[in-house]
Structure 1
Amino acid sequence: MSFTDHANNPFASLSPAVWRASTVVFDTFEDFVARKARQPDGYSYGITGTPTARGLEQRIATLENARHCVVTPSGQSALMTAVMGFVRGGDHLLVSDSCYGALKSFASNWLAKMGVDVEFYPPTIDAGIEQLIKPNTKMICLEAPGTVTMEMQDIQVITAIARQYGVMTMMDNTWASPLYFRPLDHGVDLSIEAATKLFGGHSDLLMGSISMNDSGYYDILRETQSILGQATSPEDCFLVQRGLETFELRLTQQSRTALQVAQWLEAQPQVQQVLFPALPSHPGHEIWRKQFTGNGCLFSIILQPASEAAFGAFFNALQHLPIGASWGGTHSLIAYYPASQQQSRAYSPTDQPIVRLAIGLEDPAWLIEDLQRALDGYAAFLG
């Protein structure tokens, strides 16, 4: 209920209520017998949510320009729930090689062993995806840009081909968020967000969301949420709602700082390449410029070749930037991905180690000063 509904609500608050419940009770025998008919929007058991979850789902759906939304306990659970709701043994699943690593592991280590024909495709294949579609292709999993290596995908081209062949598409849109890209407006069937990141915004919770327009898909995903036990905490739903109050303000500032830091890094002699679609030097810049309206706050860099000791000197010289694998919160983070990780991929754009930066709300000059210290430490190991 909105805080403006004074006529129907004797207690009006600017803050949404937290409804905690596992068990839902029913007024009559007939209501209980017909409890499944309450889904997908109603309440029959705590797994599928309380009014606190529904309020958050409605808010995310509005951001995504979607009719429906299902929230789940993490970004990875949203990806898994989206796939498990529709893909079965005997189906063919196409997954971008630059997708989130846990989704790729789930596909290769679990789905493939359950009879799903899993195929990883080059992230920049674009129109070439048509050559990979089989009669049993059920879904294409996209992510733009890629989680670590930041490849761009032509979403409009891929979704147009998918629709032509009756293939579903889902996209991890966490990097751009619906502020800078709305997948459903570009033909994607399911838009996935790791609400852990920008929606929550404070590095203190885990959550994911799946948004869509098709009511049939919504029915299936609500049932999948129930069967897989993908319940979300009402307290976490409240925290994400609170995070959304400052979401646009935070991302606007973080995006601006990210571009400034990326441009500075591109000019440093110790840096071989900056992987950031918002830079004209990025191979996917034109796709980003045409289809996206802004840049996220996450990017990667490839340093000039050196020993692992050099990377140790780089990271150990940092005085302020914390080392961590997540991103999207108010604090900047930095992470390391060894060369072996890129070399094990089928279609990686590099075989070198990668340093990934997540930009928070700190002063850009403060971040640049810390990164300069790290680069100076790294330079001592260069020839």
Structure 2
Amino acid sequence: MKFATKAVHAGYDYHGHQRALMPPIYQTSAFAHDEVGEQLDFAYSRTGTPTRAVLEANLAALEGAAHGLAFASGMAAVDAVLRATLQPGDEVIAVADLYGGAYRVLTKVMAAQGITVTFADLTDAANLAPLIGSNTKLLWLESPTNPLLNLVDISALSAVAHQHGVKVAVDSTFATPYLQNPLQLGADIVVHSATKYLGGHSDVLLGLVAVSDSELYKAIKFIQNAAGAVPGPQDCFLTLRGIKTLALRMERHCDNAEKVAAFLQTHPAIEQVFFPGLLAHPGHELAKRQMRRFGGIVTVYLKDNSRAAASRIAGKLQLFMLAESLGGVESLVNHSYTMSHGGMPPEQKAALGIRDGQLRLSIGIEDIDDILADLAQALAD
């Protein structure tokens, strides 16, 4: 069964749901027992619901995994993975230019619990081995990274990590399962903020995790149930509905992003364009090997490297709305310095190349002529 078919059908058997064509929303907090001690597939909705089970099975199929787990948000999924794999005294090595929310949970939450965090430039896989010590237990990757769209070689880094007994987790939100499957590249865990492309309509908050190792699954499942950061059935339903069109939407996102990147590359108001589909991108060849296409995010440095310039252009845009998120059908613009990475210290942002005069564009599925016209008018003097 190919991807687009899995997206529509995987994880759902209508025979078990009164032959409902679509997975029903089980809006209940508990399920009735017929007798004391009866073992039910579903008993209490924090532990599981039929709606959530369909979503978790669907994700597992899309990622080629044995198991899927759903959480109340992408950050709840990140937190559960970290708690399931790390103990006080352990170390996690993380790619340096990662999402600001992940940076915050690593430096403020995990570090306060005795976890050592090391951030590293892993665009060269050779940088990893010298960093691994006896307490290193987890390698945390993003590819492409947020917001500068750097790529890391998941296969090469996973091989090095596994030689030292280190587990590998990959936040693959920007790529989605349609463009990249980290488990098939050697990773142990893949995490998605389904709030983004998987849901796809900017109307749901949800996180997903996929694993194949049964012990890892049990550990993360324990955190999911014990801590209870789980999504409600309505959010699971909306995410399932969004996933059904993921293949179609991602093709349009990618088509439009390629045209936007080409347009901006020659625009006099733009200093630099970050997009893996460009030949000049340092990760272009890796993206061709590791991804099926190049994604729907384009980040730019403005020649006027000021917050005022970024604010002026964002304010002039008509189709692009200024918002924290990405991956919806609508085009969005994000000022990473104050929004997605607002909680990162200024010196860290400077070291990573996150500037005030920078904008991250989430390219929607609108007509490309309208998108380009909007960018042209906003960038005009």
Distance 2:250 2:259 in 1: 14
**Which stretch of the first structure deviates more once superposed, 271-280 or 349-358?**
349-358
Question: CA deviation digits over 1:170-225, x for unaligned, max 9?
Answer: 00001111111100001110111111111111100101100010111111111110
Distance 1:44 1:223 in 2: 16
TM-superposed deviation, 1:367:
1.0
Find the residue that maps to 1:71 and give its secondary structure. strand
1:28 equivalent to 2:35? Answer yes
Find the residue that maps to 1:330 and give its secondary structure. coil
Task: Provide the residue aligned with 2:274 in structure 1.
Answer: 275
Q: How does 1:244-255 map to 2 (within 5 A)?
A: 244-255=243-254
TM-superposed deviation, 1:228:
1.3
1:75 equivalent to 2:74? Answer yes
TM-superposed deviation, 1:141:
0.5
1:17 equivalent to 2:28? Answer no
**Which stretch of the first structure deviates more once superposed, 339-348 or 287-296?**
339-348
Task: Provide the residue aligned with 1:240 in structure 2.
Answer: 239
Task: Provide the residue aligned with 1:380 in structure 2.
Answer: none
8 Å Cα contact 2:272-2:301 kept in structure 1: yes
Extract unaligned runs of 5+ from structure 2.
1-11
Structural RMSD (CA): 1.9
1:323 equivalent to 2:322? Answer yes
Task: Provide the residue aligned with 1:126 in structure 2.
Answer: 125
1:344 equivalent to 2:348? Answer yes
Distance 1:165 1:96 in 2: 18
1:308 equivalent to 2:307? Answer yes
Question: CA deviation digits over 1:321-349, x for unaligned, max 9?
Answer: 21112111110001113399664237514
Question: CA deviation digits over 1:138-157, x for unaligned, max 9?
Answer: 10110001111111111111
TM-superposed deviation, 1:311:
2.5
8 Å Cα contact 2:310-2:359 kept in structure 1: no
Task: Provide the residue aligned with 2:374 in structure 1.
Answer: 370
8 Å Cα contact 1:333-1:359 kept in structure 2: yes
If the length of structure 2 is used for normalisation, what is the TM-score?
A: 0.91
Q: Which amino acid aligns with 1:263?
A: A
Distance 1:121 1:346 in 2: 15
Task: Provide the residue aligned with 1:295 in structure 2.
Answer: 294
8 Å Cα contact 1:96-1:121 kept in structure 2: yes
Distance 1:219 1:243 in 2: 27
TM-superposed deviation, 1:365:
1.1
Find the residue that maps to 2:240 and give its secondary structure. helix
* Counterparts in 2 of 1:171 and 1:27: CA distance versus 1, 3 Å: same
Question: CA deviation digits over 1:307-330, x for unaligned, max 9?
Answer: 433333322222232111211111
Task: Provide the residue aligned with 1:152 in structure 2.
Answer: 151
TM-superposed deviation, 1:232:
1.1
1:174 equivalent to 2:173? Answer yes
8 Å Cα contact 2:178-2:246 kept in structure 1: no
8 Å Cα contact 2:84-2:219 kept in structure 1: yes
Task: Provide the residue aligned with 1:216 in structure 2.
Answer: 215
Find the residue that maps to 2:106 and give its secondary structure. helix
Distance 2:236 2:356 in 1: 39
Question: CA deviation digits over 1:60-101, x for unaligned, max 9?
Answer: 110000010000011111111111111110001111111211
8 Å Cα contact 1:337-1:354 kept in structure 2: yes
State the aligned residue count. 365
Distance 2:43 2:126 in 1: 44
If the length of structure 1 is used for normalisation, what is the TM-score?
A: 0.90
Distance 2:137 2:44 in 1: 30
Task: Provide the residue aligned with 2:202 in structure 1.
Answer: 203
8 Å Cα contact 1:76-1:194 kept in structure 2: yes
Distance 2:110 2:215 in 1: 23
Q: Which amino acid aligns with 1:2?
A: D
Q: Which amino acid aligns with 2:55?
A: L
% of aligned pairs identical? 32
Task: Provide the residue aligned with 1:2 in structure 2.
Answer: 13
Distance 2:333 2:122 in 1: 24
Task: Provide the residue aligned with 1:100 in structure 2.
Answer: 99
8 Å Cα contact 1:305-1:352 kept in structure 2: no
8 Å Cα contact 2:330-2:364 kept in structure 1: yes
